[in-house]
């Protein structure tokens, strides 16, 4: 990463690359570095900007906004016209536990 080059697996030539890496994890990487289960040099190269999000189930209003955004987009893509969510549907989305969806 530092040299902005890589070598293909089994290859001999270095390939120059210009890339940005966006990574996501639900692991505490600082702890993983302390436990030596994640490479410290890689952690510091990837850790330019951190965005920490709470679990979706803790952001009930975001769930509604996301659902409305998807409804609008797919309505446009598939020519379904204007659609929305009933207040009951919005409340069900906010109250749902959303297992497995966490930062």
Strands (E), the chain: 5-7, 14-16
**∠ CA 69-73-75 to the nearest 5 degrees?**
115
Spatial separation of the C-alpha atoms in residues 88 and 90, rounded to whole Å: 5
Spatial separation of the C-alpha atoms in residues 29 and 18, rounded to whole Å: 25
Spatial separation of the C-alpha atoms in residues 63 and 59, rounded to whole Å: 7
Mean pLDDT, the chain, whole residue set: 88
* Section 44-56 average pLDDT: 86
pLDDT band, residue 57 (cuts 50/70/90): confident
Name the pTM for this structure.
0.55
Tell me the per-residue pLDDT of 80-103, one tens digit each, with 9 for 90 and over.
988 889 999 999 999 898 887 555
């Amino acid at each position: 990463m530092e040299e902005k080059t890589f070598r293909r697996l089994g290859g001999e030539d270095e390939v120059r690359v210009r890339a940005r890496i966006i990574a996501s994890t639900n692991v505490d990487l600082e702890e993983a570095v302390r436990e030596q289960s994640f490479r410290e040099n890689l952690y510091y190269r990837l850790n330019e900007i951190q965005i920490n999000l709470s679990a979706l189930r803790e952001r009930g209003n975001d769930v509604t906004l996301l659902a409305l955004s998807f409804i609008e987009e797919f309505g446009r893509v598939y020519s379904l016209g204007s659609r929305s969510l009933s207040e009951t549907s919005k409340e069900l989305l906010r109250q749902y536990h959303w297992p497995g969806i966490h930062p």
